[in-house]
Every structure is written in C-alpha cells, then in structure tokens.
Amino acid sequence: MEQAEFLTGILVTGTYGVLSALILSILGFMCTYNFGMKGLTKIMAQSAIFFGITQFVLTSVWMILVIYTQRLV
C-alpha cells in the first residue's frame, strides 16, 4: 500500500513538473515569435524555452527512473 501511495505522489509531482515545463516553453515561444519581441526580452523568452524543454526532459527521465527502480524493489 505504501508503494502505491509513493508512486501516486511521484506521478502527481512529475505531472505538475511536466505541465509547468510545457507552459513555460509555450509562453516563451509565443513571446519570441508571435509578439515580435527584440533585444533582452527576446533573449529571456528564448531562455524560457530552453529551461522549459530542459525541465520537461529531466522531469520525464526522473519519473521513469523512480518508477522503474520501485518496480525492482
């Protein structure tokens, strides 16, 4: 029972991390390409895209590793 609760917590936390990363990437993309920002704001929006994608990948890998290692135990 404890393992099921643990995995549910991991899934909820990971899903929140993945969704926030996607929102960050989408907002950065919109600010960069739809609103035509220039200069420092464009660099900040592009870095938001980069950090959003990085967070998405790391959170996904973290979720997969935790679930996989819990299945082994």
Domain boundary assignment for the chain: 15-72
pLDDT of residue 72: 67
* Mean local confidence (pLDDT), 49-62: 86
Q: Would you say the pTM of this structure is higher than 0.75? A: no
pLDDT band at 1 (very low <50, low <70, confident <90, very high): low
Report the b/e string of 35-57 with b at 16+ CB within 10 A.
eebeeeebeebbebbeebeebbe
| Structure confidence by residue, pLDDT tens digits, 3-45 | 777 778 778 888 888 888 888 888 888 877 776 677 777 788 8
